[in-house]
Structure 1
Amino acid sequence: MHRVVLAPSGLTFSVAPDQDLLAAAAGAGIAVPAACRNGVCEICEARLLVGRALNTRNQQTMTVNERLMMCRSLALDDLTLEINAVMAAGTNQPRTYQAKVVDVRSISHDVYRVELQLPRRRELSFHAGQYLSVNLPDAEPCYFSIASSPDEASIELHIQASPDWVSAQKVIEALTSGNDVTVELPHGKACLASAPQKPLLLVAAGTGFAQMKSLVDYLRTTSYQHPVKLFWGVRRHEDMYLRSLAEEWHKDWPPFTFLPVVGDDEDNDWAGHHDQLVRAVLASGMDWQHVEVHASGSPTMVYTLMDALVEAGLPEAAFLSDVLEYAPRG
């Protein structure tokens, strides 16, 4: 196996001697632009910075500073390639779009599943785990995790809108009005630009499950085989609005384990410090020195979890959450 580094993103992947570079990148979950896959369209073009590669069209060896098509190239050494179209996690610049609302449906007593279509969807790039804002006139932006993977044609959101949550109710009213809505995306650095090289621990509270769905849907399109454990914490059984989907992943995807945590199952104060969820995660038996954690929920839950895991031995850099960006501790 050879190691390939993509510049300037810094993303890396491994490639077998008989595997083309584009296929290997796709297996690692790296979104290299491509169309024809036979070297004609030149969309997957990269410049060779380090190493040697074989052009499978003419069997010629390519060396430093030559241009190659990743779909028609094999690695002869460890390589460094320059390809500006591949973005590192969290570096896609947000843009504003007019989105068409395809569907809004209730999937629980207070959660709606929303499907959006964006113009020129193929030109929109985001990473699994990122989020968007819905921008209504004369209102502050409302932020929601994208629940779909980057390769899906539409954008899926899970919006919690209880009767007393005024801003969320306004968003649902706008989405069901029949008019297009203004969205801005992508946002967020707690995301995956490629499949990680170690086990993953996913921790969600409430509709934080949406971000985890995006990550799982994405990883299932890659060759990722490390263990993935999902802890989903809710106050009541009825709040676990897509439990059947998580159970389906548990059944059908061998690396995946689903571990529901429900406040109703224990006589404790769920709203206190999310201790029940944190206790369950700590008892998971993970090797905290060699795991990557993604957490989505309230700042209280996220910081309580982070402090507990860092104390247990998790490197702080291996803990990823959007909370760390939008609600930093003073």
Structure 2
Amino acid sequence: MLFLSEQEKREWTNYGEEISRTFPAPGHYDTKIRKNLVAAFHFYIATLLAAKGSGKQSIGWLESGTLNEEDGLFCCAFLLGFFQRHENQLITPAVVFQDPRPFIHFAGVPIMKKARWQFVRQCSHSLPVFKRPIRFMDIGCGDGALTVAVLTHLTETDKIPGIDEILLVDSSPAMAALAEKTVRSAFPDAEISVENGRIQDCSGKIDRKFEIAMSSLAYHHMPLEDKRVHLSRLKPWIDHFILFEMDANNDTPDIFTPDLALSVYQSYGRIIDFVYSHDAPVGVVNDCIDSFLMNEVVSILTEPRGVRSDYHMLRGQWHSLLSEVLGPEFSLRCDSAAYADEYMSLMTLHYGKA
């Protein structure tokens, strides 16, 4: 992932304030911007204008931004298409996860499937051999497919002799219901418990031991200060915490800041490109983008910390959090890339007791 220098942050902020007042033609500031970040700058200006109610003025910035996009980062083009479908407004078009199908399509994109399989393998490599059947907690279980994949692989590799209980936690009633059906079908002899809510709503109610707690692309749905609180509540009840997350700078930067826009441009630009590159009906692809990924993008770019829905953190921030809250009883067992390129990575982190 690329970052701005402190001077560039100040300059982009000043340019954004000037453009919001004077509405110059797109391209006016291009010579002042690092050449490989011109498209990202246009994305920043376009989202800043749209968030402040100037959606029509943002179109020109997106159109010119697309002319500078390269390396599979086409976030200006993606946002331009989104605006065309939503009357030039940076608004959330749906309640995220109300319908499981957009997420299921996202999880089935080839690069995501490969990354999820790498996560499954990495969990197996870093977890110890358990001598007794385990209790397993999935925080943000989605449709339950990853729960099944992880536990099946742990069984096949003789890491676990059986499963006593699987606790599924998800805030979406539709997701939780689908996950329960999927997991119950795969493990009919295990006790299946379902908590339909966020981990923030139930972390204080956990009252039994779980050998493994897993969270895949879910623990980022709260800011750093809340992550710390709820992880500390989980700590007495778990032996291993395994995390699958996107390495991105979407937590601590404040609303309308250049570093937040640049992080979104790179991380979501790459993810959305994965979805559009997968051969599927246009309606299905757009539904996945609009009802899932763009919901998150709009929230990050238009709502302040504490209100927005997503707070992806950088790898180093995750390590600081996990070592601070779980240490010294827990130590790092795995830090591996499930997918990585210059702009975005998906990572597996595992902290466990000795």
Higher helix share: 2
Q: Which has the higher contact order (CA 8 A, sep 6+)?
A: 2
TM-score (norm 2): 0.32
